[in-house]
Amino acid sequence: MRKIRIEVDPDAEEEIVIRCRRLDEEIMQLQDMIENSSARFTGEISLQIGDSKYFVPLKEILFFESSERQSAAHTNERIYDSDKKLYQLEEMLPPYFLRVSKSTILNLRMIAYLKKDLTGSCEVGFRNSPKKVYVSRMYAKAFLAKIEELRGNHQ
């Protein structure tokens, strides 16, 4: 039988403890769910550069991209490595992050400009950054609808 117990102690450091008889697939999935949802609550994500771990505020991330089975997070200043795949990031990030191509998730709040082309894709530039990404045709309609939803009809 499984039970959930919550103890409230204003002086305690917050922690989540999973006590189990053995570490099975279900417990590992529970651990992943808890870890993946923490970005929504803390507003930051754990990323790496080499052997160093950084806790990067989500509001600083311009976009995530994947290439050759590696995921990276781009800010204005740095590129961090992520141990998560894009589909895992997509599940854990707040709704202002949106998949815009097979290999890119971007922060809708950091967009400075959009440049549509005749093929139906779209170039996206970011605030205070020379970096840009491209929204593929397959994702363009959902992307433009989401932009309109977040920013209203002021385009």
Picking from 135, 132, 127, the residue whose alpha carbon sits closest to that of residue 98 is 135
Spatial separation of the C-alpha atoms in residues 116 and 3, rounded to whole Å: 53
C-alpha distances in Å from residue 82, one per residue of 15, 45, 67: 23, 9, 12
Q: Report helix, strand or coil for 54.
A: strand
> How many angstroms from the chain centroid is the CA of residue 33?
14
Whether pTM > 0.75 for this model: the answer is no
pLDDT at 76 (0 to 100): 94
Q: Which domains does the chain have, with CATH numbers?
A: 25-151 (2.40.50.1020)
Has residue 57 got a pLDDT over 90?
yes
Picking from 97, 95, 113, the residue whose alpha carbon sits closest to that of residue 105 is 97
Residue with tokens 């202002």: 96
pLDDT at 42 (0 to 100): 66
Query: pLDDT per residue over 77-128, tens digit each?
Result: 999 999 999 999 998 898 899 999 999 999 999 999 999 888 778 999 999 8
